């Protein structure tokens, strides 16, 4: 953090099995002459993200600004204090409500504040993005309990040079058209027949609840009770979340499954 930066406050909310912290940062002005309250006069307040699995041990993200101040003279030009996140039932969006001021810290006149709302895509706190080629990510080995795999994804459109016309392989089409594809591997990372990237129906749209399918309209529900690994390819696309009824497997659990052929006891999770 920059000099004179104070961690000023942090409202906390529970979200999809995690805890999200809306961390306020006070970027203090140069120390002014005199004592309290003058040395805390001036400086902006904005917001970064923090997260926790248990609400006790916290991690900060890349320390990028999550909600920043607006332009000078606007209602959020001085300070912004995000307070809560609301999911409206009629939409898939999240709404972040904050108090704000047009002036810097300690300079707000009476009736100089306001309440503002920010619209955020569902799961939009962070995302993985591939913009300069095909990116790939894979989960740890998981025990899949059934139901469908659902992804919050956003295709960004074509961006790669077109390959020469003529017959193209599925991978070449994916390279030129962009989007998202999913492959299901065994726990050791080997593709399962019928669930490869090339057999997956490419998705290049925008959905908070995309259910991938493979050739023959095959879905992941047919692999219920199986230990698998989910691999995802992104080409000029974003991945926000992965949802399904599964549980991550530690090496000991994976060894037991391989010895017994049984995979059970899982809870619905999202990543």
Reduce the secondary structure of 243-265 to three states and give it as a string. EEEEEECCHHHHHHHHHHCCCCC
CA atoms within 13 A on the CB side of 64: 4
49-85 pLDDT, tens digit per residue, is: 999 999 999 999 889 999 999 999 999 999 999 999 9
Per the omega criterion (within 30 degrees of 0), is the bond before 16 cis? no
Distances in whole angstroms, Cα of residue 19 to Cα of each of 11, 16, 259: 10, 8, 36
Domain extent listing, the chain: 5-121, 128-270
* Biggest CA-to-CA distance, the chain: 76
Place of tokens 């040079």: 161
Helices (H), the chain: 170-177, 251-260
At residue 99, does pLDDT exceed 70? yes
pLDDT for 102 = 93
Which tops the pLDDT comparison, 182 or 163?
182
Which is nearest to 46 in space by CA: 10, 85, 73, 3? 10
Which residues are registered as beta bridge partners of 154? 206, 238
**Mean pLDDT of the residues in the chain:** 87
- In contact, 228 and 185? CB cutoff 8 Å: yes
**pLDDT for 59:** 97
180: Cβ–Cβ under 8 A, 6 or more apart, which residues? 151, 153, 155, 202, 203, 204, 210, 212, 232, 233, 234, 235, 237, 239
- In angstroms, the CA 27 to CA 35 distance is 18
* Res 163 pLDDT > 50: no
Tokens of 250: 């530690």
Give residue 118's Cα distance to chain centre: 17
Spatial CB neighbours of 90, under 8 Å, sequence gap ≥ 6:
none
In this structure, which long-range contacts are made by residues 196-204, counting pairs with CB atoms below 8 Å and at least 24 apart in sequence? 197/170, 197/171, 197/231, 197/233, 198/169, 198/170, 198/171, 202/173, 202/174, 202/177, 203/153, 203/155, 203/179, 204/155, 204/157, 204/177, 204/178, 204/179, 204/180, 204/237
Dist CA 154 CA 237 (whole Å) = 6
25-37 confidence digits (pLDDT tens)? 999 876 654 555 5
Q: Where are the alpha helices (DSSP H) in 126-222?
A: 170-177
3-state secondary structure of 122: coil
User: pLDDT digits over 124-152, tens only?
Assistant: 999 999 977 889 999 999 999 999 999 99
Determine the average pLDDT of the residues in 190-203: 96
CA pair distance 249, 265, nearest whole angstrom: 11
């Amino acid at each position: 953090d920059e000099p004179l930066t104070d961690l000023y406050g942090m409202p906390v909310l529970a979200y999809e099995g995690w805890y999200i912290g809306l961390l306020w940062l006070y970027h203090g002005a140069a120390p002014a002459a005199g004592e309290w309250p003058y040395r805390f006069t001036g400086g902006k307040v904005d917001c970064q993200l923090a997260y926790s699995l248990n609400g006790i041990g916290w991690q900060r993200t890349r320390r990028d600004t999550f909600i920043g101040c607006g332009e000078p003279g606007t209602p959020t030009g001085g300070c912004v204090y995000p307070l809560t996140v609301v999911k409206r039932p009629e939409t898939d969006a999240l709404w972040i409500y904050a108090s704000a001021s047009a002036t810097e810290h300690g300079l707000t006149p009476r009736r100089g504040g306001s309440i503002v709302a920010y619209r955020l895509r569902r799961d939009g706190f962070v995302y993985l993005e591939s913009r300069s080629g095909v990116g790939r990510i894979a989960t740890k080995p998981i025990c899949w309990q059934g139901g469908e795999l659902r992804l919050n994804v956003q295709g960004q459109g074509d961006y790669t040079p077109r390959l020469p016309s003529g017959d193209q392989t599925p991978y070449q089409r994916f390279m030129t058209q962009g989007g998202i594809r999913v492959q299901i591997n065994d726990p050791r990372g080997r593709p399962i027949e019928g669930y490869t990237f090339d057999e997956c129906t490419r998705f290049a749209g925008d959905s908070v609840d995309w259910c991938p399918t493979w050739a023959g309209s095959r879905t992941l529900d047919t692999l219920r009770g199986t230990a698998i690994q989910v691999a995802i390819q992104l080409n000029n696309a974003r991945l926000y979340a992965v949802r399904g009824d599964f549980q991550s497997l530690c090496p000991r659990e994976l060894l037991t499954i391989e010895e017994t052929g049984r995979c059970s006891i899982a809870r619905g999770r999202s990543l």
